[in-house]
Amino acid sequence: MPAFRYQGFDTAGGRVDGTIDAESQDRALHQLRERGFLISKLRAVEAGGDWRASLGLESDRVSLGDLEFLTAELSLLLESGVRIDRAIGILQRAGKGGAMSRLLNALSADLKQGKQLSQALEAHPTVFDRLYVNLVALGEEGGRLPDVFRGLAEDLRFQRELREKVVSASTYPLVVAGVCVLALLFIFNFVVPNLQSLFADATELPWYTSLLLESSAFMRQWQWVVFAALVATAAALWRSRRNPSVVDFKDRMLLDTPGLRDATTMVERIRFSSGLGMMLEAGLPVDRALTLATGNVRHGTLRREVAAAVDKVKRGEQISKVLRETRLFPDYYASLLEVGEESGELARVFTEIARRSRGARTRVHRNRSAQS
């Protein structure tokens, strides 16, 4: 569908600009006037006109940061007494463009057709997962949408910050590895060949000197083949990243590596506990909430452990007892669950477990940053 870039003014006289998808320029103008905009400039976005699109860098997916922005803004607007359709319209006028603009247009159209917000969100499974949609549906039923969006925004903010920390922690070793590779290529292609004349008359060389000369000759002759093989291997691994055997191998590696094991279980504990706490606070039955929260665990092995524990809970066993058998809940957190079961405050306990795990994660990151 063609995209159009617009500039103009809203009903309060404020400047607005952004992009909108429509079948034609007249249709785009009609949609903008329905929003109450006075348009001063409207032009079609040329295909390939954006350098990011021409290079294939413009994504059609809503980023995690955009989803957090949408959720936090909806929480703020709904708490201020703004109706949901009006809140979506206000966010449309923010003019973020791209995938977010198309998402807001679709949500607005569904709401105008009389659909519930949860039904409109359900039509975009790549953006809103089942946990998100179910919590919104519960918020609609109980009149607690602002609270639901506030909790979801907090959870999304943690996910975004965690992803940024992972990227930040990975940047330094990747840069060091890249510099080392460049240094080796420089040595093999320039330094060693210039020194090779010094050993031309030698009848017998130490094994390590011979190995260095032979490695340099091999790299100068086959380095492009080696480079192409590495690129092909990386591409093959990337394409097979969703293969069940590859996923199982990655999951086993994460749990078998000491440094990664604790981080993996901590992240999955936060995902499971935060989602479960929000659903219990929204009034969802425990068995249903446990089932939905299990889908929030992304690590395959840990998800299977939790699913087995949930099956035992449905057969009548205690939650704290069966979750203690999983790697997500060691004795300390299982003891907290026992207290929650006895006091009838499971929702608060799961929220507290997620909060304490986030605090532990932040302290670990700060300690590693200080050491480096």
| Res 229: pLDDT | 93
Q: What is the pLDDT of residues 176-188, one digit of tens each?
A: 999 998 998 898 8
User: Around Cβ 17, how many Cβ atoms within 10 Å?
Assistant: 14
Q: What is the mean pLDDT of residues 111-128?
A: 89
Q: Which phi and psi angles does 40 have, rounded to 5°?
A: -105, -25
Tell me, rounded to whole angstroms, the distance of Cα 14 from its chain centroid.
34
Q: Is pLDDT above 80 for 254?
A: yes
Most confident of 221-230, 250-259, 351-360: 221-230
Q: Is pLDDT above 90 for 261?
A: no
My answer on whether 70 and 138 are in the same domain is yes
My answer on whether 367 and 261 are in the same domain is yes
Q: Is residue 283 part of a domain?
A: yes
Q: Is residue 59 part of a domain?
A: no
| Res 53: pLDDT | 44
Average pLDDT of the chain is: 82
Single out the residue in 152, 174, 208 at which a domain terminates: 152
Single out the residue in 152, 167, 199 at which a domain terminates: 152
Q: Is residue 176 part of a domain?
A: no
Q: What is the mean pLDDT of residues 347-369?
A: 71
Q: How confident is the model at residue 154 (pLDDT cuts 50, 70, 90)?
A: confident
User: Around Cβ 251, how many Cβ atoms within 10 Å?
Assistant: 18
My answer on whether 71 and 130 are in the same domain is yes
Q: In angstroms, rounded to a whole number, what is the distance separating the alpha carbons of residues 84 and 77?
A: 8
Residues 243, 245, 246, 248, CA torsion sign: positive
* 22 in Cβ contact with 28 (< 8 Å): yes
Q: How confident is the model at residue 362 (pLDDT cuts 50, 70, 90)?
A: low
Q: What's the domain count of the chain?
A: 3
- What does the H/E/C string look like for the chain? CCEEEEEEECCCCCEEEEEEECCCHHHHHHHHHHCCCEEEEEEECCCCCCHHHHCCCCCCCCCHHHHHHHHHHHHHHHHCCCCHHHHHHHHHHCCCCHHHHHHHHHHHHHHHCCCCHHHHHHCCCCCCCHHHHHHHHHHHHHCCHHHHHHHHHHHHHHHHHHHHHHHHHHHHHHHHHHHHHHHHHHHHHHHHHHHHHHHCCCCCCCHHHHHHHHHHHHHHHHHHHHHHHHHHHHHHHHHCCCCHHHHHHHHHHHHHCHHHHHHHHHHHHHHHHHHHHHHHHCCCCHHHHHHHHHCCCCCHHHHHHHHHHHHHHHCCCCHHHHHHCCCCCCHHHHHHHHHHHHHCCHHHHHHHHHHHHHHHHHHHHHHHHHHC
φ/ψ region of 20 (left if φ > 0, alpha if ψ in -120 to 50, else beta) reads: beta
Q: How confident is the model at residue 49 (pLDDT cuts 50, 70, 90)?
A: very low
pTM, two decimals, is 0.67
Q: Which phi and psi angles does 50 have, rounded to 5°?
A: -85, 130
My answer on whether 78 and 43 are in the same domain is no
Q: What is the mean pLDDT of residues 241-264?
A: 84
CATH number of the domain bearing residue 291 = 1.20.81.30
Q: Is residue 188 part of a domain?
A: no
Q: Which distant-in-sequence residues (6+ apart) come within 8 Å of 323 by Cβ? A: 306, 309, 329, 334, 337
Q: Is pLDDT above 70 for 132?
A: yes
Q: Which domain does 8 fall in, by range? A: 3-54
CATH number of the domain bearing residue 16 = 3.10.20
Q: What is the mean pLDDT of residues 18-27?
A: 78
Q: How confident is the model at residue 48 (pLDDT cuts 50, 70, 90)?
A: very low
